[in-house]
Structure 1
């Protein structure tokens, strides 16, 4: 246990060591006369000896080695806080560790005493760096009169170099430095000289090593802009494009050490292929909808150009308590990156599906293709053509229809993680024009929006909110596939309400999907331990018979949840009950992977 105060820190750690040659009980004492809180914490964090003694298997030799390392570790930590005149003593059973010969280390060590005299905190008497590229932003603390923390000098140097690199001077560097400490006045003078070097253009992409992906395709996917002014962001974009394919275990782009006579710079690419085939499965359990089982198989380099082929199989509604039955779907998706340009991809899809829902049964098949485009690492779009056949049986009767659909989506993803984010914003806008080709199909469109916001407060609390909106335009409920209509209730909409329990009620009491939808969700996520968290949440949903949000009904639910962090995403367990709307009663539970949204 370590006890500390701004003036004095006394640490006593009594730990049993079972290794041969270890101290039977080693005590660590840390004393810092005159040290302030920042210095105290700096020494605590830097002292490797404390962590070594805490290891039950540590020997006296291990403690001795840690003590020798701590001289420079503690001094470096104090430099980072602006203390440039510290005196550090580390004694092992009263003997200065630095005076003990390596072959004279005792077989046991009873007391480790670390005594630190920080001396005065230094300030900058001079803090200069140049020449600077236009728009260079230096750290606020790098200025005369400010605390002379060594980290600020490194940050200023890094900011100066990176600003020149962003201005196409790829070989910018620190070419000179004068750093002098005046111990009499407790001041530090820092003067750094930058050498920008010439403006550089991108040279050739040089591929090294072997890969199952063809070299031409590596060039196409990377999209390195040969001949353009050097830009570190464009270099990172090239690496990101290669990583997004999923075909590689690692991607490395390295700048050539020397420039060509025309000041161009070649870039070396090294990739390590990942296993081409992958298989996985998942499961979710809801009290009302039942068990959902899914699996997938994919190939990540089908034709030697980082093309991806994936098949997904899902069976849901197994053992459900609602009035529906088991649902089945099988989908195939082919994706080809870097089609037409490095940021545009091609996709082809096909699928069959049977939905046995409480309010309808639908058998459908689809085939389509389209393009995706990444405008940035956060903004992306996709658009395509989809031919869809549906055979529907619901409270409006039996009917079939053929549609040509033109699904288009725009996505902004500012989240830190799609499974468990603490901060960020997510927006997905979708518009799907519908062209009736046969049967009872009608022309129209479906539009949807999904907005999510996350805000971390402190170390443990995250507030999350979600708004969903949907509408069917022009077409009637009878003229579109039932899976394009809207229902509310269950996981994904309103937890605590039975699955798809809110719909549009016809004059005879039968129910069909709505042409408008609003979904609201709010969560407060609190971490209890490193791996366990609790969640309080409330959801509400609206379903209306018209395209616009009028003449409909609302219902709501609320509950509590438990999260267990697996390292790749949390396991979710939610329990919820209805709060309003009259569409259900009792308690519902939900088990899945990842946060609810």
Structure 2
């Protein structure tokens, strides 16, 4: 048969263009990481199920595999390794084999009958492991040795005698370049190393060309791409300044900080020159502004609070300094075991970043709401203003002033209240989760709040002074630390909270300022405000002056987008200001999760284990993000 015939061959032989089926068997080298590299390097293995080829193309694939597999051996320090590929054709008890390097390989493949599968056996011999010999760092122009500082040597990491693994050798150059640039050598260059094999000693000599260049400071900073955002605001916001030492980590942090403002769709930064400019390196920040406005919808449901539905409108750059205005209108109380009817919640939120100081934001809210709980019916108008200040990477403090005018009907008694409060808070978070909807997998979140308040005498009510104290903490433990799960797949989450109202008794405090438990925020399985002092075995909650609650939750990720959770909640509300009084209520439940790019969709079902009101049987909670 002629290898280039277009029409046919003798009966029983394959057509030249027909795909040749085959199966590949790779013998283990005895080293798991090397076996993985060999498997990923082999086209015979990687393409056998997806890229069918004819005999001549398969012959080329086999010959190419020798070079690919030898490169994998070299990358692990086995420079004298050998590769053997043997092809087998078997029918009944007869067997014919062919060396993968034979000049007659293509003809042999072409002689295999159509449809008959052949086997390619791959065997590698590692040979001796090479180690690093001499390691030289030199200037590529002068060939003079470059003396590294102690910090540079530690970052470089290469030492005579260690295995000559390609990834380690090449990676050390990147590490050296990083520290050189971090030390201000903005124009530093670390080229690919030259390697010299020494077969007699089974060593590899390395020569690394390194040009450090001068130490530079940050030069002129240009800001381009602004349209509606004020340049003066951006420059005040920048965390790097002209004249400071050039450090890529601080420059990147400045870029990410501008991105976090939420007004830019992209922020890029690059060196402004290829040569030093008066001992400095200029920087060019290029910013692309995002959409200024957005419209969204808000939907939620639980069997106790019922449904809530509404719309939001947000302006992200109201006055040119990344001020954010968000308008929200919601209809609430769509059904629900804790509701007596429909209510509303309409509010405007204004946020101004860097208010009189960097890392200090001003927030203002104006709100009108109506809530028709079984515990009380409330119509209120609220105004609040506060300042949130970031102390460091983990700590934030908040302080402000709020005023509320409300009318509350509780147990057929209507009273008006005017409440002035000074909320103070400190929060700690080292979970490393920037998006509040993203589940935490490790670390601690904690907060402590104190709200001194005065309820001024109005129709049907007297004047009272009281202080609301709250503290909460949650922590997350990844079971991968016990060796029983992959990272991020199995999480134990714990939460605890405690609260007390000092200075006034229960009935001297407006009903909406008292402490309640029950619902997704405290003890699931009990309706909203369903835990604590009540009028007999009814759904009418009185509220209390102390609270304590805790949760243990197991979260298991399943497949790529699904997960499940199981939890137990417990809590109590007391009539004295001392926590850990009252009747302890316990709820338990489970749920499913569907993970989206913005956070998990949560569906939980919980039941009360020692219910106080016969109407409490079970509750369903649907939301975005984990409960805590």
With the length of structure 1 as denominator, give the TM-score of the two structures: 0.82
Residues 383-532 of structure 1 mapped to structure 2, 5 A cutoff: 383-395=399-411, 397-417=413-433, 418=436, 419-436=438-455, 439=458, 440=462, 442-456=464-478, 457=480, 458-459=485-486, 460-505=489-534, 511-532=541-562
The alpha carbon displacement at 1:490 in A equals 1.8
CA contact under 8 A between 1:450 and 1:469: conserved in structure 2? yes
Mark the CA change 1:78 to 1:215 in structure 2 (over 3 Å): closer, same or farther.
Answer: farther
Residues 27-46 of structure 1 mapped to structure 2, 5 A cutoff: 27-32=22-27, 34-46=29-41
Question: Secondary structure of the equivalent of 1:305?
Answer: coil
Question: Secondary structure of the equivalent of 1:575?
Answer: strand
Mark the CA change 1:184 to 1:204 in structure 2 (over 3 Å): closer, same or farther.
Answer: same
2:602 to 547, 572, 596: 572
The alpha carbon displacement at 1:112 in A equals 8.3
Residues 248-263 of structure 1 mapped to structure 2, 5 A cutoff: 248-258=264-274, 260-263=276-279
The alpha carbon displacement at 1:556 in A equals 1.0
The alpha carbon displacement at 1:473 in A equals 2.9
Residues 49-448 of structure 1 mapped to structure 2, 5 A cutoff: 50-55=45-50, 74=69, 77-87=72-82, 113=120, 115=122, 117=124, 118-125=126-133, 131-132=147-148, 138=154, 142-174=158-190, 177=193, 179-190=195-206, 192=208, 195-258=211-274, 260-395=276-411, 397-417=413-433, 418=436, 419-436=438-455, 439=458, 440=462, 442-448=464-470
Mark the CA change 1:51 to 1:317 in structure 2 (over 3 Å): closer, same or farther.
Answer: farther
Deviations 1:248-304 (A, max 9, x none): 221112233445444222221112222222222233332333223243221112223
Residues 17-28 of structure 1 mapped to structure 2, 5 A cutoff: 26-28=21-23
Deviations 1:123-171 (A, max 9, x none): 3445687755565684798544443322223443333333344444444
The alpha carbon displacement at 1:80 in A equals 4.6
Question: Secondary structure of the equivalent of 1:316?
Answer: strand
**2 CA distance for matches of 1:384 and 1:542?**
29
**1 CA distance for matches of 2:101 and 2:496?**
63
The alpha carbon displacement at 1:50 in A equals 4.2
Q: Which moved more, 1:264-273 or 1:151-160?
A: 151-160
**1 CA distance for matches of 2:101 and 2:510?**
79
2:620 to 589, 593, 597: 589
Gaps of 5+ in 1: 1-20
CA contact under 8 A between 1:324 and 1:359: conserved in structure 2? no
Q: Which moved more, 1:362-371 or 1:190-199?
A: 190-199
**1 CA distance for matches of 2:60 and 2:21?**
15
User: Residue 5 of structure 1 aligns with which residue?
Assistant: none
**2 CA distance for matches of 1:543 and 1:80?**
65
Mark the CA change 1:390 to 1:271 in structure 2 (over 3 Å): closer, same or farther.
Answer: same
The alpha carbon displacement at 1:557 in A equals 1.0
Question: Secondary structure of the equivalent of 2:464?
Answer: coil
With the length of structure 2 as denominator, give the TM-score of the two structures: 0.79
Deviations 1:412-431 (A, max 9, x none): 33335432233332223333
Q: How many residue pairs get matched?
A: 572
**2 CA distance for matches of 1:185 and 1:543?**
77
**2 CA distance for matches of 1:220 and 1:108?**
72
Q: Which moved more, 1:283-292 or 1:349-358?
A: 283-292
2:592 to 540, 555, 562: 562
The alpha carbon displacement at 1:501 in A equals 0.9
CA contact under 8 A between 1:133 and 1:164: conserved in structure 2? no
CA contact under 8 A between 1:371 and 1:382: conserved in structure 2? yes
The alpha carbon displacement at 1:239 in A equals 1.6
The alpha carbon displacement at 1:544 in A equals 2.0
The alpha carbon displacement at 1:54 in A equals 3.9
The alpha carbon displacement at 1:359 in A equals 1.2
**2 CA distance for matches of 1:67 and 1:405?**
79
**1 CA distance for matches of 2:20 and 2:303?**
55
CA contact under 8 A between 2:293 and 2:315: conserved in structure 1? yes
**1 CA distance for matches of 2:256 and 2:324?**
17
Mark the CA change 1:254 to 1:539 in structure 2 (over 3 Å): closer, same or farther.
Answer: same
The alpha carbon displacement at 1:571 in A equals 2.0
Mark the CA change 1:448 to 1:401 in structure 2 (over 3 Å): closer, same or farther.
Answer: same
Q: Choose between structure 1 and 2: higher strand proportion.
A: 1
Mark the CA change 1:132 to 1:318 in structure 2 (over 3 Å): closer, same or farther.
Answer: farther
CA contact under 8 A between 1:396 and 1:478: conserved in structure 2? no
Alpha carbon RMSD of aligned pairs, Å? 3.9
**2 CA distance for matches of 1:65 and 1:306?**
60
CA contact under 8 A between 1:329 and 1:352: conserved in structure 2? yes
CA contact under 8 A between 2:376 and 2:511: conserved in structure 1? yes
**1 CA distance for matches of 2:463 and 2:450?**
18
CA contact under 8 A between 1:52 and 1:66: conserved in structure 2? no
Deviations 1:516-535 (A, max 9, x none): 22221111122232222222
Bigger Rg, structure 1 or 2: 2
Mark the CA change 1:548 to 1:189 in structure 2 (over 3 Å): closer, same or farther.
Answer: farther
**1 CA distance for matches of 2:603 and 2:25?**
46
**2 CA distance for matches of 1:208 and 1:115?**
57
CA contact under 8 A between 2:190 and 2:208: conserved in structure 1? yes
Question: Secondary structure of the equivalent of 2:270?
Answer: strand
